[in-house]
Each structure stands twice: as C-alpha cells, then as structure tokens.
Amino acid sequence: MKKYTFMQRAKTDIKNHKVKFCVYLILRILVIASLVMAAIRKEYENVFVCVLSLLLFFAPTFIEKTLKIDLPSTFEIIVLLFIFSAEILGEIHNYYMIVPYWDTVLHALNGFLFAAFGFSLLDIINRNPRFKFQLSPFYLAVVAFCFSMTIGVLWEFIEFGCDMLLGTDTQKDFIINTISSVKLNPDGLNVPTVINNITQTTVNGRDLGINGYLDIGLMDTMKDLLVNFVGAVIFSIIGFFYIKNRGKGEFAKQFIPVIEEDTQNIEKQKNSEQ
C-alpha cells in the first residue's frame, strides 16, 4: 500500500512539475555519461565527483521529505543546474579555467540560494503557532544574510582543508604585481615594506615564468566571499519586501520553500474553484 501511494505521488509530482523532471533527467544522464567516460579513462577522481553529483541531486528531495516542506520548482532547477555547473562542468570539464568568471558567478548564486533557504526556514518557524515569538521582516532578512555568509565561510574552510591536506588547488592563485608585507621589513618593525612593479618570481632558483608574484589563494577566497555577500544581500532585500507585503512578490515565491501543508491547501482550493 505504501509503495502504491509513493508511486502515485511520484506520478502526480512528475505531472505537475514536467520541466523540473526533464531537467533532472537530462542532467542525470549527462552525469552518468561523464562517469562512464571517466571510468574508461581511469580518471578515478572524476568518477568520485560524478558519484558525488548524483548523490547531491537527491538533496532537494531529501530536504523536502525530512523537513516536510515544498521547494519551488524554479529553486530546485537552479540548485540542480548549480551542482552540475560546479562539479561536472567546473571540475571535470575545467570551466573554472576556460570560462571567465565561472567561479565568481557560481559563488554569487550560492550566496543568493542559501539566503533564500535560510530565509524560508525562519519564515516557516515565524508562522508556526507553536512558537510564541514573531520576528520582524528586517530581522528575518538579517538572519538569512548571516546564514548565507556562514555557509560561504564554511565552504572556504573546506576548500582550504582540501588544499592543505590533499594538495589540491581549489583556492585558485592570482598573479599580482604589488605586495606589501611586514615580513620584508629589513629592521623587523611592524611597518610594511611595499614592492611595486613585480615582473618575475623565482622559487629555489627556478624562474616560475610568470609576469608577477603568485598570490596563494587569498584573493580568490576574498573574491568568493565578496560575491557571496552580494548574492546574500540581494535576496535578503527581496525577502524583506516579500514578508513586508506578505507573499505579493511573484519573483520571491520562486525561491522561497513553504510548508507542505500550505501547498496542499492551495492545491485543494484551486481544485474546488475549478
């Protein structure tokens, strides 16, 4: 009986969200194809990335079932495309290196999406009659912003850990032509020594062949956090006005999950009107 109910529910979900199902199916096929090609080439790290991507594709459904919320189709589609763009296109097909600002756009989108998710969770709690406190729209926006930034910082911790422990280069390096450091002060004072117009870097007697100094990940990390900040701010502002006008913003509705019971009540109301 439970199996029958699950199948019926799955068929209804596919019927009501055809675009989401098509996107999920296409992306899943592409990931499986990449997995097969990586296995044939014995690129086992890429095989792991593909398997991880397939598992992450289940994250929206897992969140819905666990928290008993309904994720908007637009939100789910963007999450699926984000996972595919970051893991398959970015890591395996090297889009991070060959497509300008690929990483920047993804980090900005990450800030936007997590602000939306954090905002919706607080809004659900805020509307629950079991809780005796009510948070203002401004406070909801601020906490959603902080939630998004915290996720961004934790992700940078993961990247740093991978680079230090596994020898990867997730925090990409930048070539700069000016450095300022107290370590270079000849008198050992806490006064930075500035070196301008750097055109060559030599390590252990070997010229690295770069037209400048190699910054090890710092600028990439700060750039990622900055665009995460921008994405978080944008959605926090959108969410603030959404709550202020209580659900009148059609754009915000595409990114804010709601309680599953509310969705079912809306569908029943639509069916009764028909």
**Average pLDDT value for the chain:** 86
Residues 179, 43, single domain; the answer is no
Alpha carbon distance 157, 145 (integer Å): 19
User: For residue 4, is pLDDT > 50?
Assistant: no
Residue 59 within any structural domain of the chain = yes
Same domain, 100 and 36: yes
pLDDT reported for residue 52: 93
- pLDDT for position 262: 54
- Measured CA to CA, the distance from residue 265 to residue 254 in angstroms comes to 18
Question: Which range marks the domain in which residue 62 is found?
Answer: 2-164+218-273
Residues 201 and 69 in one domain: no
On whether residue 268 sits in a domain, the answer given is yes
Task: Note whether 75 and 184 are same-domain residues.
Answer: no
Structural domain includes residue 79: yes
How many domains, the chain? 2
One domain, residues 18 and 40: yes
Q: Are residues 180 and 268 in the same domain?
A: no
Q: Distance (Å, rounded) from C-alpha 175 to C-alpha 102?
A: 18
List pLDDT tens digits, range 125-153.
777 767 656 778 899 999 999 999 999 99
Tell me the pLDDT tens digit for each residue of 18-41: 888 899 999 999 999 999 999 999
Q: Are residues 74 and 178 in the same domain?
A: no
Q: Same domain, yes or no, for 188 and 56?
A: no
- Rounded Cα distance between 245 and 187, Å, is 61
Q: Does a structural domain hold residue 154?
A: yes
Any domain includes 169: no
Query: Is 144 a member of any domain?
Result: yes
Tell me the per-residue pLDDT of 51-90, one tens digit each, with 9 for 90 and over.
Answer: 999 999 999 888 888 877 888 889 999 999 999 999 999 9
98 in the same domain as 45: yes
Say yes or no: 183 and 254 in one domain. Answer: no
Residue 128 sits in the same domain as residue 244: yes
Q: Is residue 76 part of a domain?
A: yes
**Cα distance between residue 247 and residue 249, in whole Å:** 6
Q: What is the pLDDT of residue 132?
A: 59
pLDDT confidence bin for 6, thresholds 50/70/90: very low
In a domain, 250, yes or no: yes
Residue 18: the pLDDT is 83
Residues 200 and 101 in one domain: no
Tokens coding 31: 């990931």
Residue 91 pLDDT exceeds 50: yes
Residues 257, 242: contact at Cβ < 8 Å? no
d(CA 147, CA 117): 9
The pTM assigned to this predicted structure is: 0.83
